[in-house]
Amino acid sequence: MNEPADPKPLVELWSDDDFRAVVKPIGLDVEKEFGEAGWVIHRIDTPVSGVLLVAKTAKGAEAGRALFAGRSVEKVYWVITGVPLTFDKGEMRHWLSHAQQGNKTRAYNEPGPGRQEATLTYRRLARGDRYFLYEVVLGTGRTHQIRAQFAAAGAPVKGDLKYGAPRSNPGGGISLLARSLTFNHPFTDKIISLVADPPAGDTLWKALVPGSPNGIN
């Protein structure tokens, strides 16, 4: 198995008096990086890259967490899989159970004790010879939600050994990008839209992403 690469420096996207947005690199542990200061608003899994919003003040932390808890943030992800989903677009609905031991989530097709409902919508953006790119909009924000739901649908995220991918990615990350966050600023009511590019130097992302010079549409 490939060892996780050392995280690259944070890329700054936006900031104001109360918030800071960065592009979290693959390999960075959000809790270790920002948790001690108490400024964590939401989390992105360690092997995932993408937009991360953190607080700079106590009132920012409280307001930001309320936005996410109230599902007032549009969260868009990009996913690369080695197996296509049955339909090019649709909705997934499961009930998830997360086990602390092993840090793994299991998706079920029906409710049950200790399970939380999880929903997302998806559409295929591109198709290559061996891989498929999907855009996902989360309806809920459960632990490992996309990873568990795509695995349950028979299309695990590329490189995600924990959820059934056949092989790891170089560097130990997985092909899941927290593409964008959009929300109304809790203090100014301005619409804030934050967008992260795929990891630089990854030729597969470059080949599949729509609009890129080598993109497959």
Confidence band, pLDDT 50/70/90 cuts, at residue 9: confident
The domain that holds 162 is classified in CATH as 3.30.2350.10
Closest C-alpha to 115, from 90, 139, 145, 91: 145
- What is the separation, in whole angstroms, between the first and last Cα of the chain? 32
**Rounded mean pLDDT of the chain?**
92
Residue 45 lies in a domain: yes
CA distance 67 to 156: 29
Residue 94 in 3-state DSSP?
A: strand
Residue 145 in 3-state DSSP?
A: helix
Strands 74-81 and 176-184: antiparallel
Q: Are 21 and 13 in contact (CB under 8 A)?
A: yes
- Residue 109 pLDDT: 97
Tens of pLDDT, residue by residue over 45-77, are 999 999 999 999 999 999 999 999 999 999 999
Residue 202 lies in a domain: yes
The DSSP call for residue 161 is G
- Is pLDDT at 213 greater than 50 in this prediction? no
The DSSP call for residue 40 is B
- Residue 5 pLDDT: 54
Residue 161 lies in a domain: yes
Confidence band, pLDDT 50/70/90 cuts, at residue 204: very high
Number of domains the chain is built from = 1
Q: Which residues pair with 183 in a beta bridge?
A: 192
Residue 3 lies in a domain: no
Quote the domain boundaries for residue 103. Answer: 11-208
The pTM is what?
A: 0.92
Residue 32 lies in a domain: yes
- Mean pLDDT, to the nearest integer, of 8-28? 93
